[in-house]
Amino acid sequence: MIQFIQANEDGFTDIPGRKTIHFFSFEQYFDPDKTGYGVLRVLNDSVIDAGFGLPNHMHRNMEIITYVIEGALSHKDSIQNASTIYRGDVQFISADSGVVHSEYNYGDEPARVLELWVYPNDSVEAPSYGEYCYDWQERVNQWLLFASGIGGKSPVQVHQDINCYATFLEAGRDIDFNVQAGRQAYVVALEGVVVLNDVLFVAHMSAQVSNETLSFHALESSHIVIVEMNEA
């Protein structure tokens, strides 16, 4: 089963220095029918202007994954981490009892990031931070597993049974993804235009999927993310 969600059905925040698409309820945007999907609580697609960002703020009891779509993002936190990640890179925070952090774009161009908040399981022992710099080619015309649960096959591991995949599909190329029985997935089109199971799937559209094989055909170069998890 596939349920498609049009881009104009999502929430949107436009404040000085930052524009964000909210796939689920977040801060001032609230839709009682869109409070998450399985263990995925927040999914935000943000464009951060050069010189802007998020000042220090706290998270508790959440696994936070940030995937850089364009540009660069600089991170600093209360557990002595500071670094900058770039297009295609991933950072993750296990907030546990609490982490204070800031995220800024110190570059000369806008940065675009996809931020995922995932409910943790019970195995978190202390706040932690990590990142991984992937080779861009690892996702070209194939699925890159950029985050997984603890003990999974990704170098980025969070405290929940999820698998996060990305592909950059070149024009004219095809790729499939099987959502197995007992699992579900949330699919987001970040860039480009594909045909997904005979439906035109364009940037900023999303889909909820269960027990289905997904077939993508790129009409132009396209960037897709899938978050796969246990079926709720």
Binding-site annotation, residues for Fe cation: 57, 59, 101, 103
Residue 80 near residue 128 (C-beta atoms within 8 A): no
Strand partners, 222: 169
**Paired tokens of 71:** 């540009």
Strand partners, 59: 99
Query: What's the Rg (C-alpha) of the chain?
Result: 17
Which residues, in sequence order, are CB contacts of 25 under 8 Å at separation 6+? 11, 31, 32, 34, 35, 36
Residue 232 near residue 183 (C-beta atoms within 8 A): no
Query: Which residues define the annotated binding site?
Result: 57, 59, 101, 103
**Paired tokens of 175:** 């790729």
Strands 162-169 and 193-196, by their bridges, are unpaired
**Paired tokens of 32:** 């009682």
The phi-psi region of residue 164 (left if phi > 0; otherwise alpha if psi is between -120 and 50; otherwise beta) is beta
User: Tokens 């094989």 label which residue?
Assistant: 213
**Paired tokens of 163:** 């698998």
Helices then strands, counting H and E runs in the chain, come out as 0, 20
